[in-house]
Amino acid sequence: MGMTITEKILARHAGLDRVRPGDLINARIDIALGNDITAPLAIEQFYKSGAQVVFDKSRVVLIPDHFVPNKDIKSAMQAKTLRDFALEQDLLYFFDAGDMGIEHVLLPEKGIVLPGDLVIGADSHTCTYGGLGAFATGVGSTDLAAAMITGEVWLKVPETIKLIYNGELNPWVEGKDLILYTIGDIGVDGALYKALEFSGPAIRNLGMAGRLTMANMAIEAGAKNGIIEPDAVTEEYVSTRAVRKYEFFQSDNDSDYKDIRKYDVSNIEPQVAFPHLPENTRGISEVGKIAIDQVVIGSCTNGRIEDLRTAATVLKGKKVTKGIRLIIIPATPYVYRSALTEGLFDIFLDAGAIISPPTCGPCLGGHMGVLAKGERAIATTNRNFVGRMGHPESEVYLSNPAVAAASSILGRIGGPNELN
């Protein structure tokens, strides 16, 4: 019996010839990641353990991105904790101020996470890097502290569910719609502690932005990780950015899968996830007339330059409906500068949008767009739990950037095809 891509990466990092689902392993990590919410706890545990230095100053990455620019004294102190620790440990990869971006967009962009890597991060959406062909998963702050000290992590090898996407995408349908549709099919616990392996012709035809988006939301189906076999698209993306060597892994033809599901993407239209779970999905034609107060385009799910280009295509020459707040959040300084240089900011500003510096912002109810009681938003973010973006009596709907942009013009949830 062969091994899946997930099993091969874990076996290599555990120094074993093979692993099987359910095996408990101790594995070497390539990157340990923390942010301004989770890393302060890890740093506290690091010191409590008596440790003095991290295992490798080029493998521990800290990025304050959730509450920055700092919104209050507490968030300022959290960021300072990271800053002081990074300085003391002489960390190679600490991104602050003008260098700071949303972690899960910034690390692939910088070539710090790579195909074949084993990456852990004290953030649930660390699974994003599976879009590159890496095993990447979220851990708790205590696990991050241990990894910063030892360079290793304890894991149980997950079973794998293979998802095969056939056919050609319809207009305005993106990776975000494929993953929302999938979560709607299997449920938020449908892949609990399993690897989701995305495959098929439609995946191979996706650009890197769409692949990263799909892997990003694997956790919303309960998955341990999401992963896509690297190919020519991957090589083109990483070859000019990689800061070290990388390796492509592929699943064997005789791999043992827990389940195999097939989807015909030609039957999938733009999706909208209704409150208060990402599994509550409906096609755009089934949404109805739902008024909104706010639109957010950004986050680690859809804050890349490709996402902003899509939004600009929809918004060009049009105006945001009066009374609607459209917030655009470029995910990194590179995305920000690219959008500025390409003239996207002119389109956004002419439409009446607000442009934020790179930050997670309202995605987790942090700042830069927190919702009041009774307000309703559509967002390109990844979660719509109760109170996720602000008041517990607010509502969040999830969509791709095209639907979000169109909704800001319509004043209600709707798709680009409704615009003249």
- Summarised one tens digit per residue, pLDDT across range 308-364 is 999 999 999 999 999 999 999 999 999 999 999 999 999 999 999 999 999 998 988
- The whole-model pTM stands at 0.94
**Predicted confidence (pLDDT) per residue in 243-270, tens digit:** 999 999 999 999 999 999 999 999 999 9
- Which fold is adopted by the domain 5-263? Aconitase; domain 3 (3.30.499)
Q: Which CATH architecture has domain 272-418?
A: 2-Layer Sandwich (3.30)
pLDDT at 251: 97
Residue intervals in the chain for CATH 3.30.499.10: 5-263, 272-418
User: Does 69 sit behind a cis peptide bond, omega within 30 degrees of 0 on the bond before it?
Assistant: yes
Q: Assess whether pLDDT exceeds 80 at residue 94.
A: yes
Residues 6+ away with beta carbon under 8 Å from 76: 70
